Amino acid sequence: MSVLARSVGNAFRNKVRTAAVVAVLAVAIGLALAMLVANQAVGAKVQELNASVGTVLTVNPAGGQGFEGGGEPLTSEQAATATAVPNVSAVVGISSLRLRNAAEAAAQAAGGQTGPGGGQGVSGGQAAATLTTSLTAAVDAGTLGNRNQAANGTTGTTATQPVRSLPITATGIGAEVDTTGKALAITEGNGLGDYNAESTNALLGTTLAEKNGLAVGSTFTINDQTYTVAGLFDAGTTFGNNAVYVTLPTAQTLAGLPGELSSMIVTVDSLEHVEAAKAALQEALGTDKADVTQGQNLETAVSSLDSVKNISYIAFIAALGTAGLIILLIMVMLVRERRREIGVLKAIGAPNRTIGLQFVLEALVLAALGSAAGAVIAAFASSGIASALISTNTTTTAAATTGRGMPGGTGFPGGGPGGPFGGASQLLTSVTASASPDVIVAGIAAVFGVATIGALVPALLTARIRPIEVLRGE
């Protein structure tokens, strides 16, 4: 019989109580683990959102609404100002144009139609130049588009209206990036070379090229000017692929607005500097002149997720604290109950450290059982808790980031409150895949630490008093 064997034996001395203690501990520890998993799941989500936004800031004219206009156009001088802001590593000017199919435009004019077509109000503004092209859009107007067209059309002519496609976006870019600052994925052919020189080369989205039967080397026209397809790109979205990219000066010339930019893509040198650079950029450009945004309304989504993350972290700490408190009180109670036994051990020559060790080991046995049972509980509970915490928020996120193609709308793996195996593997993955497994180690270590102290302190305090006082006790 060793100290360890004695401690294990003592842990099971009162089986009913041991079961009760382990059950309560398991609930607290299980909750703590589930909260940790939830915390990390949300953390991963936040990181994913941040990574999707990356280090890119978008500068639009203050109050600008894209093609709807609004605000004063941005200028090359402002691009220079932006370049000078600390931590800004690149500024890419963007000039957006809208292309309408030349034949459709002619037919519309012949039909006596006035006003904006295609349900896309072009009501003037800095970069709202609408030009004609030989290209046909790869995207159909769809139910919504046709309904809008009908509503806008002159009464009585709807029946004769040809089926029209949506406009095509032509973007002048100062570097080989798309309008969100992401590098263009060129699938065929080459880029445009110098993006800051006029050129008759253009890049076409794969679906747009396909729709118009164009390949690398083919030609098409914009405003009667012939352009050669230098390369094809795949933006990954239908909307993104219904686009043409030309060099910035080309677009500015086409629009007749040299030196004006519809937006700027500002790249910050690192994720940590994004926040500061964004503020500095806004300051440098002036709030009345430019709006600096990070992604599209992602910040609200991120901040709401962040608050969930904080709440789950607090819940983790609280549940862990509860577990610690339970084991602390149990050990205080156990030591009180066995005062006499401590006196006997002392009387027959047990050193204080042996007595302390015996109770610490007993507490650790209880904590270990509680943790093991808690892990099982967490395996059952965490998937439900985590998905409940995230799904409500991802709905907002997805809505707020239309067109950005958020990876995995209901992101967190694990498919809802699955069985214990799904739960267990999810617990394992999220714990092992988490950026900081030391948190869980620290948490469990904290419970064991509290158990150790909770056992040691009362045991040693009891061991220190004269044996006869405890022996006479009862």
Partner 1 sequence: MIEVKNLVRTFNSGDRTIKPVNDVSFELEQGTLASIVGKSGSGKSTLLSLLGALDKPTSGDVAVNGVSLASMPDAKLTQYRRRDIGFVFQQFNLIPNLSAVDNVMLPMEFAGMRKAARLQRAKELLEQVQLVPEKHDRRINRLSGGEQQRVAIARALANEPKLILADEPTGNLDEQTGDHIIELLSALCRDHNTTILVVTHDRALANKTDRRFRLQQGRLTEEPVRNRATAAAAPV
Nearest CB to partner 1, comparing residues 13 and 336: 13
Q: Is 202 helix (H, G, I), strand (E, B) or coil?
A: strand
Piece of the chain touching partner 1 by CB under 8 A; list 275-283, 315-323, 361-369, 459-467: 459-467
Closer Cβ to partner 1, 2 or 155, answer by number:
2
Nearer to partner 1, 308 or 345 (CB): 345
Nearer Cβ to partner 1 (10/207): 10
Pick between residue 102 and residue 355 the one whose CB is nearest to partner 1: 355
> Would you state the structure tokens that stand for residue 100, as one six-digit string?
């309408």
Nearer to partner 1, 267 or 358 (CB): 358
CB 455, min distance to partner 1, A? 18
> Bridge partners of 188?
232
Of the two residues 289 and 346, which places its CB atom closer to partner 1 in the complex? Answer: 346
CA angle 367, 368, 374 (to 5 degrees): 85
Q: Which of 84, 307, 468, 473 binds partner 1 (CB under 8 A)?
A: 468
* Closest separation in Å from C-beta 324 to partner 1: 27
Of 7, 10, 387, 401, which lies in the binding site for partner 1, with binding defined by CB under 8 A? 10
- Cβ closer to partner 1: 147 or 472? 472
Within positions 43 to 72, which residues make up the interface with partner 1, using CB under 8 A?
none
Residue span binding partner 1 (CB under 8 A) among the ranges 6-14, 235-243, 275-283, 403-411:
6-14
Chosen residue from 354, 391, 396, 425 binding partner 1 by CB under 8 A: 354
DSSP assignments along 65-86, one per residue: -GGG--SPPEEHHHHHHHHHST
Interface positions, 294-353, toward partner 1 (CB under 8 A): 340-341, 343-352
Alpha carbon distance 122, 260 (integer Å): 18
Residue of 54, 384, 418, 467 that binds partner 1 (CB under 8 A) = 467
Q: Tell me if 461 contacts partner 1 by CB under 8 A.
A: no
Does 404 bind partner 1 (CB under 8 A)? Our answer is: no
CB of 345 to partner 1, least distance (A): 7
Nearer to partner 1, 351 or 405 (CB): 351
Using CB under 8 A as the binding criterion, the count of chain residues that bind partner 1 stands at 26
Would you say 150 or 468 has its CB closer to partner 1?
A: 468
Q: Which of residues 129-168 bind partner 1 (CB under 8 A)?
A: none
Q: What angle do CA 87, 90, 94 make, to 5 degrees?
A: 135
Which region among 2-10, 167-175, 199-207, 396-404 touches partner 1 (by CB under 8 A)? 2-10
Beta strands 201-205; 225-233: pairing state: parallel
Query: x/- binding map, residues 248-267, to partner 1, per CB under 8 A?
Result: --------------------
Does 16 interact with partner 1 (rule: CB under 8 A)?
A: no
Which residues are registered as beta bridge partners of 264? 59, 93
Tell me which stretch binds partner 1 (CB under 8 A): 128-136, 238-246, 273-281, 463-471. 463-471
Residues that bind partner 1 (CB under 8 A): 1-3, 6, 9-10, 13, 340-341, 343-352, 354, 464, 466-469, 471
